[in-house]
A and B are shown apart, each in its own frame.
Chain A
């Protein structure tokens, strides 16, 4: 069981490009934590997620997954929700969500009843059972977002990497999503998600990582780290923080 993710001095640039997409990012993420990564477009959020996925390897620094006893662990199921993805043609939503079960099915084996049951369960949880037979290309943006989240839930990974999971979701579904993420934490999962909206972070994140142009502005406990100064530095605009029902509410503008 992996309980800590240690990111040390992480730097990355794409081949053929001078610009560093990530520059010396450090963070230590404990188990059963929800971490929000905040930053403007181009701040390196997606690159960081791809590196946590081990899809991209760092040119400098390292990411280690540590077990409880501090030893480096290797066995970690990672789920990834890209911000944009190429969805396959001809597949129904249910068939697509079933593909989340890939890591659980051995080569030359077929999905079994347990896999189908898991798909049914997550579709019920996300209230998308009624579109089970609809084709992926026929559902709306918000529906597709829920289907993609369902695919990730069906995978049942230990670490959830979600790139802008609230994209395309209406207010109701956004609240539902935040609830689902909170529930993942109760199940001892680690969730790292990116967002443009610091209020999502206030709502559910235990830790936040603020990033600007590939550099870490701050990392730490949500309420301690999110203040006017760090947020203005992160988003490069004037920020106002109001207290609403004893929770900070972050607004753009002076």
Chain B
């Protein structure tokens, strides 16, 4: 067990290390260290463009994978994540709203994303209780579809009203979901929130298992108290909203990574949470490296995470590794 996590850690370090030396400058794809040492521009580029972007991608992958794991555990639903439940769209709406009303004030964008993220998760809770098919997973997905649609149309209205010269381009960047304009200045303000969320959930990696238990059983074990459940859920929304506030709508990571983690490491938090953090980070770094190197221009990150994620998802469901039943 320890060995598997260690291998994973080495893998993550390798992916991140290689990613730093992969890009379009000074030459396409890989640049050896020797060449970087000779080229001052390459050094600056690595430190001020690639490194913040690498950190941003790693935090994004780790956060989305972890929050996906939490959503799936709380909702007892292997195909729940911020995207399916509508949290992403809601946080996106919140951020877009802040962009048109405040320009690009970072604290406001984040606060607004978090606020609407929490609103949407509360809506999912109530709406999925209100929809009464026999299958709770279907109830949640239904609720998620409805909430996504509400906030997506909200985003549509904002786009329609936005100033086409200033706010609109900002909003459009966001919807695509990419990291091409990440700088240290833009990334650093979100790092504390993300680290708080990750550290707290990591520290609670044993406790979160209680979220998966039957309510009465959890009660008898002195666990799964409502307050604790809500707290954990809010931490997961905080992670999602913080990432969305700097990277936009990057989908599929929260859906696919926890499922991959579960098939390799099992479902218990003590194993799944560290693994999801590392696999998520490595996956996002890998996708972002592809996004910025494959062609001379830039392909939005969200396209790769979705493309690869969807293929993996089909394989996992098809091979019976993910079973969607009550």
Residues of chain A whose beta carbon lies under 8 Å from any beta carbon of chain B: 50, 53, 55, 78-80, 82, 85-92, 95, 98-100, 102-103, 105, 107-111, 137, 151, 155, 157, 161
Contacts and interface: CB of A to CB of B under 8 A. Distances in A.
A53 B220 contact: yes
Contact of B221 (A88, A90, A100): A100
28 contacts: A50-B216, A53-B219, A55-B220, A78-B220, A79-B220, A80-B216, A80-B219, A82-B214, A82-B216, A82-B217, A85-B216, A86-B76, A87-B214, A88-B76, A90-B212, A90-B262, A91-B209, A91-B266, A92-B266, A95-B209, A95-B266, A100-B221, A102-B218, A102-B222, A110-B205, A111-B270, A151-B217, A155-B220
Interface of B: 73, 76, 78, 203-207, 209-210, 212-223, 262, 266-268, 270, 323, 325
Contact of B76 (A80, A89, A105, A107): A89
B139 to A, nearest CB: 14
A90 B267 contact: yes
A204 to B, nearest CB: 22
A98 B271 CA distance: 14
Contacts, number: 83
Nearest to A151: B217
Contact of B216 (A55, A98, A109, A157): A55
A90 B266 contact: yes
Contact of A91 (B78, B223, B267, B325): B267
Contacts of A50: 216
A-B pairs, top 10 by smallest CB distance, nearest first, are: A90-B267, A88-B212, A80-B220, A85-B214, A102-B221, A86-B214, A102-B223, A90-B262, A103-B222, A95-B268
A105 B206 contact: yes
A103 B266 contact: no
B217 A80 contact: yes
Contacts of A105: 206
Contact of A111 (B76, B206, B213, B217): B206
A110 B206 contact: yes
Given A95-B267, A109-B206, 7 more contacts: A80-B216, A89-B212, A91-B209, A99-B210, A102-B221, A107-B204, A110-B205
Given A82-B217, A100-B221, A91 B206 contact: no
Contacts of A91: 209, 212, 266-268
Given A88-B267, A91-B266, A99-B210, A108 B221 contact: no
B256 to A, nearest CB: 15
A92 B265 CA distance: 11
Nearest to B268: A95
A85 B224 CA distance: 15
A88 B214 CA distance: 8
A55 B217 CA distance: 10
A91 B210 CA distance: 12
B266 A102 contact: no
A152 B222 CA distance: 13
A95 B204 CA distance: 16
A110 B323 contact: no
Nearest to B220: A80
Contacts of B218: 102
B221 A155 contact: yes
B227 to A, nearest CB: 13
Contacts of B267: 88-91, 95
Q: Could you say which of B205, B217, B268 has the most chain A C-beta atoms within 10 Å of its C-beta?
A: B217
A89 B323 contact: yes
A161 B221 CA distance: 12
Contacts of A82: 214, 216-217
Contacts of B222: 102-103
A147 to B, nearest CB: 12
Contacts of B266: 90-92, 95
A89 B320 CA distance: 13
B202 to A, nearest CB: 10
